[in-house]
Structure 1
């Protein structure tokens, strides 16, 4: 079984007077540096860790401990919610685009073909009307006979849509 013991640093066990706002202006640079350095700790110069082989990923993983766990959870939940919202938006957009495009093909293509056919019939009727007008101008005597035949029973048929 492993037994843990807490080792306190001398720096924190010795009591120093708490500086007031007046005293902080009078502190020298050396006194401020004493708060941040630990002269008795060993600097790991003789470490076997090679810094040249360290990757950016290794450095980012080491920075993970700097951010408190609550902040990490909040950041991760925010990133996850943004990622989920983006995925659902793209998924919905893709499905909606599929429905719209297939509906356009299934409904639009037959309508366009029927419309083009109707335009052809209208164009043919115009051409026939122009031909009748040209024939009447060339042979003025046959106009009365053609009018009598047309009124007697020949109807032109129109295409139905």
Structure 2
């Protein structure tokens, strides 16, 4: 049969030094030391925030760090994708849109020139027709071209 024997550790048998036995002990919670080199004016906001890291538990800090990392990664990916998309759209607009716009403007100029030529032909026909007929016939042609009855100015 197995017999259990309790063995006492020597380390726990010795007396542990406490506040009464330690000569260098000072109660810093109840006294403000005048010898401190702490200067609150030289402390920055970053130093203060860094000192607060111990207030939050390590598991919570890890969770927050993981979430911040995931969000920053997602934002970086979105910005990268957006920049590449803008590059493709911008270069496509320059390579395809500018020549199309120039061709369209040229086509509009041709259309305007054709209208102007038709108006000149109509005007020259009216002037040549006016020489052969009386002035009232020319006024009738001008009125017909405008789509209304022409009346004398007097």
| TM-score, normalized by the shorter chain, greater than 0.5 | yes
Distance in 2 (CA, whole Å) between partners of 1:41 and 1:48 is 13
Q: Deviations over 1:114-135 (max 9, x none)?
A: 1111111111111111111111
In the alignment of these two chains, the number of paired residues is 106
Spell out structure 1 runs of 4+ moving beyond 3 A: none
Q: What secondary structure sits across from 2:32 in the alignment? A: coil
Q: Which is higher, the Rg of structure 1 or of structure 2? A: 2
Q: Deviations over 1:77-103 (max 9, x none)?
A: 111111111111111111111111111
Q: Is residue 2:78 matched to residue 1:93?
A: no
Structure 1 vs Structure 2 CA RMSD: 2.6
Larger RCO (CA within 8 A; separation ≥ 6): 1
| Residue ranges of structure 2 left out of the alignment (5+ in a row) | 1-15, 19-24, 131-154
| Residue ranges of structure 1 left out of the alignment (5+ in a row) | 1-6, 10-39, 142-161
* Aligned counterpart, 2:117: 128
| Structure 1 residue 58: Cα displacement | 2.2
Distance in 2 (CA, whole Å) between partners of 1:70 and 1:137 is 95
